Structure formats: C-alpha cells, structure tokens
Amino acid sequence: MVFHQPGNLDEVLKLIHNLAPSCRVIAGGTDLLVSIRQKDNEWPEHLINLADLKEIKQIHETEEEIIIGAAMSHDEIVNHPLIKNHIPLLAEASRQIGSQQVRNRGTIGGNICNASPCADAVTALIALNADLEVCSVNEILRVSLKDFYLKPYQTILKPNEILTMIRIKKLQKGTGYSFIKLGRRNAVAISRINVAAVISKSKTGVIKTAALAAGSVFPVWKRIWLAERELIGKTVAESLFMEAGKITAREMIEKTGRRWSTPYKEPVVATLVKRALLQASGLLLE
C-alpha cells in the first residue's frame, strides 16, 4: 500500500485520475478502516489522504448558502457558528452520529459517500435539499443530493471523482425543523429509524413548505414527496401529521416490500414522522 498526502485539491484529482480504480480516498477513516479490517487487512494499492486539505476543510457562507467542505468533521459541524445559526438541523443530526470519537474523525463527506441508508447527517441534508459539488480533473459538477444515490452503499461518483463541497440554503427565519433518531440505545447507536423535517407556515398555521426525509426506511435516499404534498396548504394539526406519517409508512412498504422488520417499522416510522412534524411546527416541545 502506498500512502499519498497531497498538498492541494489539484494534486488529489491528478492522483485519482492516474491511479483509479486501484486507489481509495480516506478522510476520517471511520468507515474505510473498519471495512479494511473486516476483510483481513486487505488494503487498497493506493490510499490518498484528504484529511488535511484546507480547500475542503472549511465552512463559509454566501448570501443564500452555507458551503461546507467535505472533509469537515461532524464535531466541527456541530460546533460551527454558521451551522448553528443558519442550519441548526444539520448540527442536531451530526451531534447524534456515533460517539464523540467517531464525530471527531468522521467527516460529512464520508457520511455522504459511504451511502449507508442509516447515515444520520444524510437524512438532515436530504430534508435541507442539499446540493453537492463533485470534482474530477476535467470538471466540477453540481448535483442534487437526492440524485446522488443509486442503491445502498452505491453513489453516482465515478472512480476519478471526489465530493468536495456541500451547499445548503440557509433556513429562513421562522422555519421549523426537527431531527429524531431512534436507536437501540441512547448513544453510539446505529439508527433504527431517523427522521428529519423542515416546515414553514403562515401566521395562521397554514403550512407553506414542507420537507421530510427518513433514514433506514428507504433503500435509496429520497424526500417523502407524497407526505409533503399532503401537508402543504393545510393547517398544522396532530391528525394531519399522523396522516403524513401513515403515508410515509405506505411509501416504505411500496418501495421495500414487506420485510422481516416491517411489522415494527410500519407503525413506528409513522409515529416518528408525526413527532418530527409536531416538533418542527412548534406543537410539541422536545
């Protein structure tokens, strides 16, 4: 195994261009190192370290967007003032990932590209309608996160491309949000189900916009359009949110079929969607 420590993004892209597919990139290593160890230490021929690249290890803002470098750790995101002020939903989701040690090393880019269906940050990013910047030596592409996934653990990234930036629109003042994670224990748990909701409503409580996403529910990440459509134009109410939850559960069964876990997930995903909407709309305090 050859370990590469490029000094800037250009060098990374050139290395990948020349070495793919016999190379892997590593940022925090919280997924890659574990999977290498599980395969009896079968290392890729080349390992390219992204961890110290300034270009993708920063967060900045434009008037409308927050732009997060893919190598930012979850812990850095949780504590960053721009995130806390403009997209607190992402801070909330990132705060619940793994353990403090995993959050110190694991990166948002890694969480997105590993493409596990239970990734906590991705649920929030889908609900936030995040866009991604994907780079190769030839071009920079902007793709919507919702179009990024092909199936579990598989994205549209080509061997010579890497994810560099995540772009998220700032939440408008008065927009409600919620992230709920259900695991088998209260920390260091893989999400059994997670749900993110973003809602804006009029002064009279009529829902103007709604974004819903759920993890460990669908094989491929997606917004829950049918449930969102049910909400828009209606007045916030527990019964309405329960209906949105039931639609989500039906969608899940539609997409995955009835599986061994369905008897549990069907009622619970509905409940969690309801709770997330109650929280996001201010009807239920945590």
Partner 1 sequence: MARYAADYSLPHQLYGCVKYADYPHAEILNIDISEALKINGVEAVLTYKDVPGENRFGLIPNIRILADDRTRYLGDAVALIAARTIEIAKQAARHISIKYHKLPDVIDPRESLKEETIKIHEEGNLVVHHKVLKGDIARGFKQSVHVIEQDFSTPAIEHAYLEPEAALAYPDEQDGIAVIGCLQNIYTSHKVIAAALNLPLAKVKIIQSTMGGSFGGKDEASTLVAARAALLAVKTKRPVKIVNSREDSMIQSYKRHPYYLNYRWGCDQDGRLLAMQHDIIADSGAYCSMTPFVTWRSVVQAAGPYRCPNVKTDVRGVYTNNNYTGAMRGFGSPQVNVAIEIMMDKIAEKTNKSPLEIRLLNGFGDGAVTATGQKLSHDVSLKQVLTIAAEKSDFENKWRQNRSKENQSAPVSKGIGLSCSYRGVSLGAEGVDAASAVVHVQPDGSINVSSGIIDMGQGAQTALAQIAAEVLGVSMKRMRFLEPDTTRVADSGPTVASRGTIMGGGAVKIAAEKVAELIKEILAEKHKIRKESLLLKNEKIETKSGKRVCTFTDAVKLCYAKGTPLFANGVRYIAETDWNEKTGRGNAYFTYVYGANVAEVEVDRETGKVNVTRFISVHDVGKAINKSMVEGQIYGGIAMGTGYAIMESFIQESGMAKTINFDEYYIPTALDVPQMESFIVENPDKHGPFGAKSIGEPALEIVAPTIINAIFNATGKHIYNLPASLEEVLLGKKLRRDVERGSLSCKPEV
**Can you give the binding site for partner 1, defined by CB under 8 A?**
24, 32, 35-36, 39-42, 44, 116-118, 151-154, 182, 184-190, 192, 219, 256, 259-261, 263-264, 267-268, 271-272
Distance in angstroms (rounded) separating the CA atoms of residues 64 and 86? 10
Amino acid at residue number 78: V
Question: In terms of CB distance, is 94 or 200 closer to partner 1?
Answer: 94
Question: In terms of CB distance, is 138 or 264 closer to partner 1?
Answer: 264
In this structure, are strands 149-151 and 154-155 parallel, antiparallel, or unpaired?
A: antiparallel
- Least Å distance, CB 181 to partner 1, is 11
- Least Å distance, CB 170 to partner 1, is 32
Question: In terms of CB distance, is 80 or 274 closer to partner 1?
Answer: 274
- Least Å distance, CB 252 to partner 1, is 12
- Least Å distance, CB 151 to partner 1, is 5
Tell me the DSSP string of 30-86: TTHHHHHHHTTT---SEEEE-TT-GGGS-EEE-SSEEEEETT-BHHHHHT-HHHHHH
Question: In terms of CB distance, is 54 or 151 closer to partner 1?
Answer: 151
The answer to whether 232 touches 208, Cβ cutoff 8 Å, is yes
First to last CA, the chain: 49
- Least Å distance, CB 44 to partner 1, is 7
Question: In terms of CB distance, is 54 or 259 closer to partner 1?
Answer: 259
The answer to whether 120 touches 181, Cβ cutoff 8 Å, is yes
